[in-house]
Structure 1
Amino acid sequence: MTKQLEYKSTIKSMPYLYIETKKAASLILKGFNDYEIKNMSIKENIFQMKSEARKKEIASITLKRLKSLDEFLLDKLVNGDLETSKQIVIYMIMKTDRLFFEFMSEVYRNKNILREKYITDSDFNVYFQRKCEQSDTVASWKEYTFYKLKQVLTRILFEAGFIKNQKGDKEITIPIVDCDLAQHLKEIGDGIYLEVMLGHKS
């Protein structure tokens, strides 16, 4: 479960990566393994990155996130409609990044439960302060790290269609989740992630 993961700030340089993730997923469905995909990233630059280090990083993070998907979800990611595909990437990030999952659960979902329409700068500040109080790891991060994290979390939600704007107060958009996707998440014991996306109580 996500709550067993360590807090990390690496998401600040590894954001939504929708196009890259979908490309890697399509290669997996075609039968390519991790080694082959990493090799293609370095030698063929399939993710269109400038530096050698970035080619390796993007391949590594997309493949790590994709480990959280079964065949049904992989197929939905590659062949499903755009909204469903983007929601699956959000699900993947929640599954593999504790800081993002807890933000979605404690801020995004709670806003929806309380029928509050906006995520504000104050919400980010309160959330990060709470994490500092809960974790020595988070408390050790520099101010610039929190600045970048706020930017990246905002961009992820915007690119996925979970908020309408990136500037000022962020207006929340509750997604419409495909029935088959919702049912599958419940069946595999991951209903909590569905509840977080939809703003339901657990």
Structure 2
Amino acid sequence: MLQYTSILKARPFLYLELKKAISLKIQGFSELDIKNKSLEENIFSVNTETRKKEIASAVINRIQVLDDYILDKIVNGSLQTSKQLTIYSILKTDRLFFEFMKEVYREKILLKDYSIDDKDFNIFFRRKAEQSEKVASWQDYTYYKLKQVYKRILSEAGFIKNTKNEVKIIPQIIEEEVKNHLIDIGDRVYLEVMLGEM
């Protein structure tokens, strides 16, 4: 099982970066090539060596959990499908984000309550801190930052509309073919989380 980490606060949605890396992979470049291209050619257009390494590492990590069908859909599918599958790649590589989506986002949809407020985030992080010494050891700032990043990821992916006062859930419609593929490969749980289904 994946460990809890707060790494997502430095590696948010990275949609365009993931798409660029997948395009290279489809062209036959290896993960090492992609990492080298990030360092030597700055393909992700960032300012520091550290950031080049971080982004390359994050997108490669996500690519490794995706099959060829999904890689192709992220690059060549519709914008909505492509972004939904980017969320799927984060759900598969970040345990805390997955549990947030399962225990807060999905629950809200099941209860037909389409807004998420700060209280929901606070309760979620408090519960995780009670369950995990690692999460309990984090500073308040880490929780604050993760909350901001979760909102940003979901907003950029079109899963929420983030206004000044509240976060509104935008229920997702996922292509039938993509749904069937996720079910076939045994990943129904991620589908249920994204769609808010039982």
TM class by smaller structure: over 0.9
Q: How many aligned residue pairs are there?
A: 198
- Among all aligned residue pairs of Structure 1 and Structure 2, give the percentage whose two residues are the same amino acid: 57
The aligned residue for residue 7 of structure 1 is: 4
CA shift, 1:169, in A, is 1.4
Residue 23 of structure 2 aligns to a residue in which SS?
A: helix
Find the aligned partners of 2:94 and 2:84 in 1 and give their Cα distance: 15
| Runs of 4+ residues over 2 Å off in structure 1 | none
The aligned residue for residue 151 of structure 2 is: 154
Q: What is the letter of the counterpart of residue 95 of structure 1?
A: K
Residue 164 of structure 1 aligns to a residue in which SS?
A: strand
The aligned residue for residue 45 of structure 1 is: 42
Find the aligned partners of 1:71 and 1:14 in 2 and give their Cα distance: 23
The aligned residue for residue 164 of structure 2 is: 167
Question: 1:94-128 deviations in whole A, cap 9, x for unaligned?
Answer: 00000000000000000000000100000000000
Find the aligned partners of 2:146 and 2:161 in 1 and give their Cα distance: 19
Give unmatched runs, 5+ long, in structure 2. none
Matched, 1:58 2:27: no
The aligned residue for residue 138 of structure 1 is: 135
TM-score normalized by structure 1?
0.97
Matched, 1:22 2:19: yes
Q: What is the letter of the counterpart of residue 105 of structure 1?
A: K
Contact map agreement 1:162 1:174 (CA 8 A) in 2? yes
The aligned residue for residue 196 of structure 1 is: 193
Find the aligned partners of 2:88 and 2:147 in 1 and give their Cα distance: 19
Give unmatched runs, 5+ long, in structure 1. none
Find the aligned partners of 2:165 and 2:118 in 1 and give their Cα distance: 8
Q: What RMSD in Å do the two structures reach over aligned CA positions?
A: 0.7
Match of 1:183 among 177, 180, 184: 180
Residue 162 of structure 2 aligns to a residue in which SS?
A: coil
CA shift, 1:166, in A, is 4.8
TM-score normalized by structure 2?
0.99
